[in-house]
Amino acid sequence: MGTDGSGLVSIIIVNWNTRDILLQCLDSVYRTSKETLCEVIVVDNASTDGSADAVSQHFPDVSIVRNDKNVGFAAANNLAIKAARGEYLLFLNPDTVVCGDAISEMRDFLAKDKEVGAVGCRLANADGSTQESYWFSFPCRRWLLEKVIYWNKVTQRISKKSNKLQEPFPVAHLLGACIMCPASLVKQLSGFDESYFLYLEETDLCWRIREAGYAVFHLPGASVIHYGQQSSNQAAEWASLELYRNTYRFIRGHSRWQMASRLLTQWIIAMLAIVRVLLWTVRRITGVGNPDTARRMTMGFWRLLLAVPGFERECKRRV
């Protein structure tokens, strides 16, 4: 590694109460990156499960940033970005297991093509099946309408069947569980937008990367196992609210925005919340699935429905 950090990959992991899977993630990072120059930075968002101490004990080479409160995903990543020394930044979720040469393959792809501003790899479920980890368009009102009636599930299946590409290909945006970017570009863009507390931070970053003239790519040949939603499942009552609040924020910030558009977007999200409340209530009454999950999800979508009228005011306050 040069004195300027050339070739070095700074792996940034934001953690909140996921001690055991975080240790598993770090084990996979060190096991698979022996031939890759890496530094690892863990930002702990005031976990109460001993995560930070466990990392210090088992992985003393890891740099740990200990926050005294949960500052959110975007702000936590930005703290690590300021401390990172690498030429490349890998934003990695703690609920992942790195497979093979995924880290070096992403780094090498960025090194070969200076017009690429972000790259992600194949995300796999624990059973080996492929997750949805990239999209060819950004969230919009049409996308929200499709989610109301679950049409997005149909289009996902069609996309999986039709897309058999094995070579890297350009996409609109990536799932934030595993994204690598040139450090200079991320710092030029001032990192993540901290008005996003959780969800869509990476979508916004990919948007700004593309607006700056760079491409976003998916590498199907590199793989990372992603268990998914380990932190958000601990706060199911609030996850849906945060997801659609930030969806509203993203659409508001990246589209032509007038009064009619604002009201229409709020109406669509409210309809989505009503449909989900009804469906989760039916599941709870009929005993389908875990009753506690059904109760918490119902509560979460009720909170979303009640919060929708205040979304515009919250957006203006956070700007």
Q: Look up the pTM and report it.
A: 0.91
- Position 158 pLDDT exceeds 90: no
- Position 313 pLDDT exceeds 50: yes
Task: Please report the pLDDT score of residue 260 as a whole number.
Answer: 83
- Position 159 pLDDT exceeds 90: no
Q: What does the pLDDT look like over 214-263, one tens digit per residue?
A: 999 999 999 999 997 655 555 667 888 999 999 999 999 887 767 788 89
6-10, 256-260, 304-308: segment of lowest average pLDDT: 256-260
Kind of pairing, strands 63-67 and 38-45?
parallel
Q: What does the pLDDT look like over 89-122, one tens digit per residue?
A: 999 999 999 999 999 999 999 999 999 999 999 9
Provide DSSP, 46-115. S-SSSHHHHHHHH-TTSEEEEESS---HHHHHHHHHHH---SEEEEE-TTEEE-TTHHHHHHHHHHH-TT
Q: What does the pLDDT look like over 69-78, one tens digit per residue?
A: 999 999 999 9
Percentage, residues of the chain above pLDDT 90? 75
- Position 161 pLDDT exceeds 60: no
Task: Please report the pLDDT score of residue 54 as a whole number.
Answer: 97
Task: Please report the pLDDT score of residue 2 as a whole number.
Answer: 47
Distance CA 230, CA 242 (A): 15
Three-class secondary structure of residue 219 per DSSP: strand
Task: Please report the pLDDT score of residue 149 as a whole number.
Answer: 87
